[in-house]
Amino acid sequence: MKKILLVTFSIFTLVTGFSQNVRKTIANGNALNPFTWDCICIPLPGDSIIINHILTLDTDFGYSTGAVVVTATGKLIGDSLSRAVAVMGTALLENNGYYNVSRTALFGGRVSNHGVFMADSLFSNVTLNNGFVSTGSVYVETSFWNTGIFRLTDPTKEVVVRNYFLNGDSLISGVNAVFQMEGAMRVNYDFSNTDTILGGGQICIDGNSSNFGVITGTLDMCDLTGGNAVDFNVGVISPSVKVCQAPCTVSINEEETGLDISIYPNPSSSSYVSLSGIEGYNIQVFSTDGKLIRAFIGQANQIIDVTSWSAGIYFLHIQKDMTFKTARLVIQ
Q: What is the pLDDT of residues 151-163, one digit of tens each?
A: 999 998 999 998 8
pLDDT at 326 over 70: no
Q: How confident is the model at residue 288 (pLDDT cuts 50, 70, 90)?
A: low
CATH topology of domain 257-331: Immunoglobulin-like (2.60.40)
Highest mean pLDDT pick, 11-15, 57-61, 324-328 = 57-61
pLDDT at 311 over 50: yes
pLDDT at 148: 93
> How many CB atoms are closer than 10 A to CB 299?
14
* C-beta separation of 231 from 295 below 8 A: no
The rounded distance, in Å, linking the Cα atoms of 205 and 189 is 7
pLDDT at 283: 82
Q: How confident is the model at residue 318 (pLDDT cuts 50, 70, 90)?
A: confident
User: What is the DSSP secondary-structure string of 237-279?
Assistant: E-TT-EES-S----HHHHHHT----EEESSSB-SSEEEEES-T
pLDDT digits (tens, 9 = 90+) for 196-232: 999 999 999 988 888 989 999 999 999 988 778 998 8
pLDDT at 307: 87
Q: Where in the chain are the domains?
A: 22-246, 257-331
Quote the pTM value. Answer: 0.72
pLDDT at 321: 54
* C-beta separation of 140 from 114 below 8 A: no
* C-beta separation of 177 from 147 below 8 A: yes
Q: Which residue from 311, 261, 253 is spatially nearest to 283, judged by alpha carbons?
A: 261
The rounded distance, in Å, linking the Cα atoms of 114 and 32 is 26
111 half-sphere exposure, CB direction, 13 A CA radius: 31
The rounded distance, in Å, linking the Cα atoms of 14 and 100 is 21
pLDDT at 170: 53
pLDDT at 175: 58
pLDDT at 60 over 90: yes
Average pLDDT, the chain: 84
pLDDT digits (tens, 9 = 90+) for 243-274: 998 888 664 333 334 456 788 888 888 888 88
Q: What would the mean pLDDT of 278-302 be, rounded to a whole number?
A: 79
Q: How confident is the model at residue 86 (pLDDT cuts 50, 70, 90)?
A: very high
pLDDT digits (tens, 9 = 90+) for 12-57: 443 334 447 999 999 999 999 999 999 999 998 789 999 999 999 9
User: Lowest-pLDDT range, 1-5, 59-63, 136-140?
Assistant: 1-5
